[in-house]
Amino acid sequence: MRPEQTKEIKHLAKGRVHFDYPLGQKGTFKAGGKVEALCEVDSMDSLRNLVEFSQGQSISCLVLGGASNVLVKDEGLDAVVLFLTGEFENIQRVDEPPAGLWVGAGVSLFDLLLTCRNMGLGGLEFLAGIPGKVGGAVRGNAGAFGGQIGENIVAVEFVTETGDLVVMDREGLEFGYRSLNIPDGAIITRALLAVNEDDSEKVRERIVQYLIEKKDRQPLDLPSLGSVFKNPPGDYAGRMIEAVGLKGTSIGGAMISPKHANFIVNTGRAKAADFLALVKLAKEKVKEEFGITLELEIKVLG
């Protein structure tokens, strides 16, 4: 960015900006490069102003929550990354129709479930153990144990890449496998989630049970980005990768988990390039054996 652009972004972000930010090291894989700037955005006005300015200046601008399914290449990323805080971390209960919880995009899924437990609200327990924030979960239609967050969404609020604020209700939303049909470049700011009255202790028990099952199945003891590949129709990416003999395979500091073959873990000093080399290897072997091209569930930036 030019000096005048840097100055304006710093002004619009109210000084809460970090340049040459090591996003890769802050993400859940603990590897990867820097981003040009990370802005902590705590209000709708700041968000819309930053988005509008970036669009006008042809500066790449995107939102990342917990960086739990995002890999920045080692070379880094020339972009302004927005981290939603402040008013985007609010949870508001709505009792009149359509009832539910308006949940800010910056709320972690952990905090969302904690709030549901405390309020005696059920229906979202299947999200237990999924890292990241609500915004990313909605955008990627996150799910587990047979449930998807899209099934609970009543409405989604987002800011377009030109800074316009839009609310889209259920009738206008189309959810697919790890996808939602909002416009390219749109930034989700909050979502209205349907929940149901339930006993707090029963909600807690279901959350704990899901966490136990996830710990048994997944390598939660090492840094990872979660599931690397989408499951192809009628099959599981992990099963296919294991079937071609890649479980436990290492390149550099990255390893295809011996516990779950659809996870690539950082064994200590992995680089993003190590991760991507394993991705390439798995895709090639599965294509050769099954004739299927695996699609990434994670995002690779840079």
We report the CATH number of the domain holding residue 271 as 3.90.78.10
Are both 156 and 252 inside the same structural domain? Answer: no
Are both 210 and 98 inside the same structural domain? Answer: yes
Percent of the chain surpassing pLDDT 70: 100
Span 48-74, mean pLDDT? Answer: 90
The CATH number assigned to the domain holding 44 equals 3.30.43.10
The C-alpha atoms of residue 274 and residue 83 are separated, in whole angstroms, by 27
Are both 114 and 78 inside the same structural domain? Answer: no
Number of domains within the chain: 3
Are both 148 and 244 inside the same structural domain? Answer: no
Cα atoms in the Cβ-side hemisphere of radius 13 Å centred on 246: 26
Pairing label, strands 299-301, 70-72: parallel
56 band by pLDDT with thresholds 50, 70 and 90: very high
Q: Which residues are known catalytic residues? A: 178, 227, 297
Tell me, what's the pLDDT at 68? 80
Are both 202 and 154 inside the same structural domain? Answer: yes
Domain boundary among the residues 181, 199, 216 is at 216
Does position 42 have pLDDT exceeding 90, yes or no? yes
Are both 109 and 51 inside the same structural domain? Answer: no
Domain boundary among the residues 196, 216, 236 is at 216
Domain that includes residue 243, residue range: 220-301
Nearest to 246 by CA among 275, 214, 217, 286: 286
Backbone angles phi, psi at 124, to 5 degrees: -120, 10
59, 79 Cβ separation under 8 angstroms: yes
The C-alpha atoms of residue 258 and residue 82 are separated, in whole angstroms, by 35
The CATH number assigned to the domain holding 192 equals 3.30.465.10
Does position 145 have pLDDT exceeding 90, yes or no? no
Mean pLDDT of the chain: 93
pTM given for the model:
0.88
177 band by pLDDT with thresholds 50, 70 and 90: confident
Tell me, what's the pLDDT at 237? 97
Span 95-121, mean pLDDT? Answer: 94
Are both 78 and 101 inside the same structural domain? Answer: no
65 band by pLDDT with thresholds 50, 70 and 90: confident
Are both 52 and 98 inside the same structural domain? Answer: no
Does position 66 have pLDDT exceeding 80, yes or no? no
Are both 148 and 181 inside the same structural domain? Answer: yes
Does position 287 have pLDDT exceeding 90, yes or no? yes
Span 16-24, mean pLDDT? Answer: 92
Are both 196 and 241 inside the same structural domain? Answer: no
Between residues 68 and 122, which one has the greater pLDDT? 122
Domain boundary among the residues 84, 102, 133 is at 84
Span 24-41, mean pLDDT? Answer: 92
Count of CB atoms situated within 10 Å of the CB of 4: 9
The C-alpha atoms of residue 97 and residue 257 are separated, in whole angstroms, by 46
Are both 224 and 210 inside the same structural domain? Answer: no
Are both 194 and 96 inside the same structural domain? Answer: yes
The C-alpha atoms of residue 129 and residue 110 are separated, in whole angstroms, by 7
Span 245-255, mean pLDDT? Answer: 98
The C-alpha atoms of residue 271 and residue 143 are separated, in whole angstroms, by 28
Tell me, what's the pLDDT at 132? 87
